[in-house]
Amino acid sequence: MRRTPRWAVVVVAVLAVAATLRFAVFRPRPIPVDVAIVEAGTVEETITNTRAGTVKARLRAKLSPQIGGRVVELPYRKGAHVGPGALLLRLDDSVQKAQVRLAQEQVRTAGSQANEACLAAELAERELQRGQALAKDGIESPQALDALESGRDRARAACQAARATLDQARAQVGVAEAELALTTVRADFAGVVADCSTEVGEWITPAPPGVPIPAVLDLIDPGSVYVSAPIDEVDSERVRPGQEVRVTVDSRPGEKLLGRLVRVAPYVLDVLEQNRTVEVEVDLADPKSAEHLLPGTSADVEVILARRDGVPRIPTAAIAEGGKVLVLREGRLVERTVVTGMRNWQYAEVGSGVTVGDRVVVVRDSPDIKAGALARAKGAK
């Protein structure tokens, strides 16, 4: 029997080792990729604001007294809850109270003078009646009767003048009381004192006629909170009151608040020539959630235009230009072209190209993630 040459055995051994190294050690490792499973779910068509919106309050009043003076009373501080009509600020009102007392004394004086004048008018009327009776008997002369009539008329006029003076004095009391009311600031509605920029003992400087005194109090009704946001002008015809809205605020990361669109501005803001927008207003569905939102907080709105339930969907981020997606099948990436329907920034409805259960690549953060590459889902071994 012919022996196999030793060199042939060595060559076969080397080839076997090389093959082992090729397929075991130097074999390309699968690329870990982020995948999402195609599933049946809800897809919505939405639009969002172009710039950050703002949480506002419909009932918000920046208050100041109508006259200047020294602050003598501040019953409530920042953060205090107050009811309608609550006293928020009082100025020194000693002069105004003295004017009220003076006006009231003038009413009493005018009242006494009116009583005196009207009693005199009644007396003159009785004297005239006696004179007329005497004139019928030929005792009273016509000249004396004329004098009695003139005296009666003068007394009546004096009574009327005294009563007019009394009415004027009473009106002056009203003026004095109105001036006294100017020394106080009261809440027109229930709310929270958001800010107070004065202190007891400080002077509030009066302003020139026609110029309001700068506000020293800020009153907000937490129950009137809403969200105002700008929508791009190209979407102005697609939004209308009553549409469902989701709101996100920076102070509550990860939380979405439901609401309704209640107003669409009837005009386009063109302050920024390259970014014209339409303002929309949103009321939150949960009043308790709205009460805890601080006016001035930035917010984003997502208006839901349409919704489809139970349709195949994939993350919108998985779709590349031309509708191309990468599907992970049997450890290798396969490129497919999908036909999409309704979509938003999160999900897209899939009509064809993939089926429920397929795994599609969501993130393409490496040039190695391409069709034909070996891959595995992240987290899988």
Q: Where are the domains of the chain?
A: 31-44+308-377, 53-57+222-307, 60-92+183-220, 94-181
Q: Does the fold of domain 53-57+222-307 match that of domain 31-44+308-377?
A: no
Dihedral sign for Cα 301, 306, 308, 313, please: negative
Nearest to 231 by CA among 298, 301, 278: 278
* Spatial distance between the Cα atoms of 369 and 113, rounded to a whole number of angstroms: 105
DSSP one-letter code for 21: I
- 338-359 pLDDT, tens digit per residue, is 999 888 888 999 999 999 999 9
Which residues of the chain fall short of a pLDDT of 50? 1, 24-25, 381
CATH of domain 53-57+222-307: 2.40.30.170
Report the SS3 class of residue 380: coil
In the structure encoding, which two tokens stand for residue 295, read together?
Answer: 């006016």
pLDDT tens digits for 61-76? 999 998 899 999 999 9
Predicted local distance difference test score (pLDDT) of residue 273:
59
Q: Residue 6's pLDDT is what? A: 64
pLDDT at 349: 92
In this predicted structure, what is the pLDDT of residue 18? 58
Q: 31-44+308-377 belongs to which CATH class?
A: mainly beta
- CA atoms within a 13 Å half-sphere pointing along the CA-CB vector of 315: 13
Which pLDDT tens digit goes with each residue over 102-112? 999 999 999 99
Q: What is the pLDDT of residue 63?
A: 92
Encoding tokens for residue 51? 């710039």
Three-class secondary structure of residue 290 per DSSP: helix
pLDDT computed for residue 50 by the predictor: 83
| CATH class of this structure's domain 60-92+183-220 | mainly beta
Name every residue whose Cβ is closer than 8 Å to that of residue 189 and which is 6 or more positions away in sequence.
Answer: 59, 61, 84, 219, 221
- Check if the beta carbon of residue 125 is closer than 8 Å to that of residue 117: no
Q: DSSP states of 208-271 as a string?
A: -TT-PPPP-EEEE-GGGEEEEEEEEGGGTTT--TT-EEEEEETTSTT--EEEEEEEE-SS-B-S
Instruction: Give the list of residues 6+ apart from residue 291 with CB closer than 8 angstroms, or none.
Output: 222, 223, 225
